[in-house]
Structure 1
């Protein structure tokens, strides 16, 4: 029996309002149809778009011949050409034009296998595009975490009025220590963080309040780092008029899932006298993503 091996990449770009740029980025990926975009999530307030791509995975082949590697690199190269980070404003933090890339194994692929794919993409971006590139998770030899890199580079601190992020947090004068690429970041592109992990669910819960300080307290109490739910990362972000979101990464969704996160936030917000809306996922489940890819007919 032939194993079904798939690799998934979630690619987050710091732009959702520039239609010309996004069309160019998506057109770049279509050069490699076997690496299909199976989900696109745009957020106007965050000024951010997330793409989910999937392709067949053959570990015995060269990384550079993998259609997912080629599609991701083409999208990143186009994004760096089409978007100027210095002109960017939004309520979601970011480190670069392409803020975050993460590879996940699907079906019978392994985490070790897709970590090589992440390393290959990071090498090409750092060396060919000359963008400082940091590795995390299984792609990093010591398993460095994503949030540790973000904290070190100032990701979580708004740098503009009204809890907005303007441009990137990193000055070109700051000396960096990336895994690949130059030691200084160009202000128009910033830096990139690339990793490989097991599946992560992204679940955002709206709170009908503009009291960002109170929502930050809630987010801290929800997160594992703050003594809340293990394997949950959470941060508070302004989201449109009159609401703030607790944006969560569920690192082990089979252990701590969305229902538990929703309940915990409702409990904490109730203590603050706040109304909570129903949370939402920014992507499909991994089972649905596999099904969507199989329906495209690329797997015999």
Structure 2
């Protein structure tokens, strides 16, 4: 059997969620790279952040990532940035995810090459995290990003927080960037009814996430979560990264959140997917609610039981990674 064609995904998080012209310039730059397919754009005006998901052969995807940094360097100024999401730079975090035909270690090696190039080209501090990390204390994004943009200058003065590449002072407009290779994670927010307070959202997040709160471990080791308020929705959310989706079922997290919220006298109204999701994890959500059926039936059931249409229409055909990539590649072939 022939080896599968190497295929990777980049899920770059940019600290811009309000300037449509800048977001369109980034999307255009990604799409201009041959064999690099822009699969999804998730714009968050309240968080002042946008997630671009693109995929293709490694060479094309890394070229697409470089194009993102080039546009950000020309158009984003962190000195003017205000938003609810933690961040330390214009291109805040740039993860690369192996999909097929390439190992996590091979992708990590490529991130180091790109990191050095970015540092030299933009005079930008670059931190490596996850599988690319150069020390254990840089493995988690939350440790690397702690202090955010406003605390970056002081952090870079500490011997233990020298960047992997680039200067020991922040770029005034771009801040710093974090990049690395990692397995797939699911970015997903649990919606609370408008009467829930920020303190309650934070309390619920602490109960759910693996790190827990106040020295007590939480319920799901494969889950990271924070509570926040999103002005555009007029409500609080528990913002989640499911970092071990194979062992952290969405259905179980959701049902647990519903139960805990009920005990706090608040309500979970649904959830919000950020970016794309592998089809197996969405189908597993339906089965987690004891439903088994055909492919489309399971997808529709998962949308319903997780309340993914709570904040607006949700078309799973445009949010499942494999389906979106197939459609993008077929469209590209037809246009040639």
Normalising by the residue count of structure 2, what TM-score does the alignment of the two structures yield?
0.77
Extract unaligned runs of 5+ from structure 1: 58-65, 156-167
- For the structure 1 residues 278 and 71, does the alpha-carbon distance in structure 2 shift closer, same or farther, using more than 3 Å as the test? same
1:14 shift after superposition: 0.8
1:210 shift after superposition: 5.0
Helix, strand or coil for the counterpart of 1:50?
strand
Q: Contact 1:170/1:190 (CA < 8 Å) preserved in 2?
A: no
- What's the counterpart of residue 19 of structure 1? 20
Q: Which has the higher helix share?
A: 2
Distance 1:272 1:169 in 2: 34
Map residues 124-163 of structure 1 onto 2, 5 A cutoff.
124-143=117-136, 144-151=139-146, 154-155=147-148
- For the structure 1 residues 100 and 190, does the alpha-carbon distance in structure 2 shift closer, same or farther, using more than 3 Å as the test? same
- Deviating runs (4+, > 3 A) in structure 1? 171-174
- For the structure 1 residues 92 and 254, does the alpha-carbon distance in structure 2 shift closer, same or farther, using more than 3 Å as the test? same
Q: Contact 2:123/2:171 (CA < 8 Å) preserved in 1?
A: no
Q: Contact 1:29/1:35 (CA < 8 Å) preserved in 2?
A: yes
Pick the aligned partner of 1:218 from 204, 208, 217. 204
Distance 2:29 2:117 in 1: 16
Map residues 84-99 of structure 1 onto 2, 5 A cutoff.
84-99=77-92
- What's the counterpart of residue 293 of structure 2? none
- What's the counterpart of residue 288 of structure 2? none
- What's the counterpart of residue 51 of structure 2? 50
Helix, strand or coil for the counterpart of 2:269?
coil
Cα distance per residue 1:43-73 (max 9 Å; x no partner): 121111100110124xxxxxxxx12111101
Map residues 1-300 of structure 1 onto 2, 5 A cutoff.
1-57=2-58, 66-143=59-136, 144-151=139-146, 154-155=147-148, 168-172=149-153, 174=155, 175=157, 176-208=161-193, 209=195, 211-226=197-212, 227=217, 228-240=219-231, 242-287=234-279, 288-295=320-327, 296-297=329-330
Helix, strand or coil for the counterpart of 1:169?
helix
- For the structure 1 residues 142 and 186, does the alpha-carbon distance in structure 2 shift closer, same or farther, using more than 3 Å as the test? closer
Q: Contact 2:86/2:145 (CA < 8 Å) preserved in 1?
A: no
Normalising by the residue count of structure 1, what TM-score does the alignment of the two structures yield?
0.86
1:117 shift after superposition: 2.2
- For the structure 1 residues 33 and 289, does the alpha-carbon distance in structure 2 shift closer, same or farther, using more than 3 Å as the test? farther
Extract unaligned runs of 5+ from structure 2: 280-319
- For the structure 1 residues 290 and 119, does the alpha-carbon distance in structure 2 shift closer, same or farther, using more than 3 Å as the test? farther
Which deviates the most, 142-151 or 74-83?
Answer: 142-151
Relative contact order higher in (CA < 8 Å, ≥ 6 apart): 1
Question: Highest CA radius of gyration, 1 or 2?
Answer: 2
- What's the counterpart of residue 62 of structure 1? none
Cα distance per residue 1:109-137 (max 9 Å; x no partner): 21112112222221211221111111111
